Amino acid sequence: MLDGVEADRTELEGLLHRRMQIGKLEAFHETQDLHVLAPVGAVVCVHARDMKAAWCLAASNAEATAREITNHYARRWTIEPGFRDTKDLRFGMGLGVLRIADPQRRDRLLLLNAFAIVLLTLLGAAGESLGMDRHLKVATAKRRTHSLFRQGCMLYELIPNMPDVRLRPLVARFSEYINQHAALNQTFSCV
C-alpha cells in the first residue's frame, strides 16, 4: 500500500480481526509474518468509528508512528478517486477496459482523458454554483454526495434534454470558469 508494498490481503485481514477493536489504532513494527513481496517495516491496522471498512496499511518505514503512517495514507487517498474516475466504465471515463499496445497512442489518450476530466469537473463546479447539484443528490443529504467530476458527467448527460432556462446559465457559468483560469483559457481558446 505505502511505498509500493502490497501485503497479502487475507493475512492482513486475519491480523486485523485477531488484534483490533473498533476505534483503536494499532501498529506492528518489524513484523516477520508479512514479508510477502518486500520487507515490511510496519503494519498499521485501523478501524475508526466513522470508517466503512478497516484500513490495513503496510509501510517500509519502521521508524514511523502509526499516526504518521495513517495520516500519510489519508493524504494520499485523494488520488484514488482520480484513478477510479479514469478507469471505471460506470462512474468515469472507462479507460480500464482499453488495451493499447502503442505507448504514444496511450499517452495521447491519457492527455485527452485529463482534458475531459478537467472540463467535466469545471462543468460540475458550474452546476453546483448554480444550485443544480440539489437535483443530482438525495433530497435529505446536506452536503455534497457526488464529486464535481461526477456532477459534471451527470450534467453532461442531461444537456441534450435540458431546458434553455437551465442550460443557458450553466453554459455561461462554465465559460466564466474557463476564462478565470489562464492555462485553460489559452488551451481552449481555439475551440
Does residue 76 surpass a pLDDT of 60? yes
Residue 106 banded pLDDT, cuts 50, 70, 90 = confident
Q: CA 190, CA 172: separation in Å to the nearest integer?
A: 18
Please answer whether residues 3 and 61 qualify as being in contact, where contact means their C-beta atoms are separated by less than 8 angstroms: yes
Percent share of the chain, pLDDT over 90: 23
Q: What is the maximum span of the chain, computed from C-alpha positions, in angstroms?
A: 64
When mean pLDDT is compared over 68-77, 95-104, 112-121, the highest value belongs to: 112-121
Q: What is the pLDDT of residue 3?
A: 39
Q: CA 85, CA 107: separation in Å to the nearest integer?
A: 17
Q: What is the pLDDT of residue 175?
A: 92
Residue 22 banded pLDDT, cuts 50, 70, 90 = very low
Contacts 24+ apart (CB under 8 A), 48-57: 48/22, 48/23, 49/22, 49/23, 54/16, 54/20, 56/1, 56/7, 56/9, 56/12, 56/13, 56/15, 56/16, 57/1, 57/2
The x, y and z cell numbers of residue 2, run together, are 505505502
> Which of 28, 30, 84, 79 has the alpha carbon at shortest distance from 56?
28
Q: CA 114, CA 83: separation in Å to the nearest integer?
A: 11
Does residue 158 surpass a pLDDT of 90? yes
| Element (DSSP H or E) covering residue 85 | helix 79-87
Q: What is the pLDDT of residue 170?
A: 96
pTM: 0.63
Residue 93 banded pLDDT, cuts 50, 70, 90 = confident
Q: What is the pLDDT of residue 181?
A: 85
Per-residue model confidence as pLDDT tens digits over 42-62 = 888 887 777 777 777 888 888
